[in-house]
Amino acid sequence: MANLTLSVPDDLLEKARRKAVMDGKSLNSLIRKFLEDYVERKEMIQKSVEKLMKLTEECAREIEKWNKEDLYER
């Protein structure tokens, strides 16, 4: 596992440490979880965009098949 050095304002670090203690967690585990969630969220967004693009293409192909009479047929 790699080590990471961060620079954060002293007051932010102190607040984060206190919150971590209150949650019964280490600051290290909280930062690791944040990074995991960040990566997962980015991957989920990318997959959602890909699905949306695919659906958009499929809908566009279907719309191209329509004609004026089909739109007013009822």
Does any domain span residue 67?
A: yes
The pLDDT mean for the chain works out to 89
pTM: 0.59
Task: Report helix, strand or coil for 55.
Answer: helix
pLDDT tens digits along 16-51: 999 999 999 999 999 999 999 999 999 999 999 999
Nearest CA to 31 out of 16, 51, 45, 10 is that of: 16
Residue 6 forms part of a structural domain: no
Q: Is residue 7 part of a domain?
A: no
Q: What's the structural domain count of the chain?
A: 1
Report whether 27 contacts 16 (CB < 8 A). Answer: yes
Residue 60's pLDDT is 82
Residue 57 placed within a domain: yes
Could you give the percent of the chain with pLDDT greater than 90?
70
Give the range of the structural domain holding residue 41, as residue numbers without chain letter: 12-72
In a domain? residue 19: yes
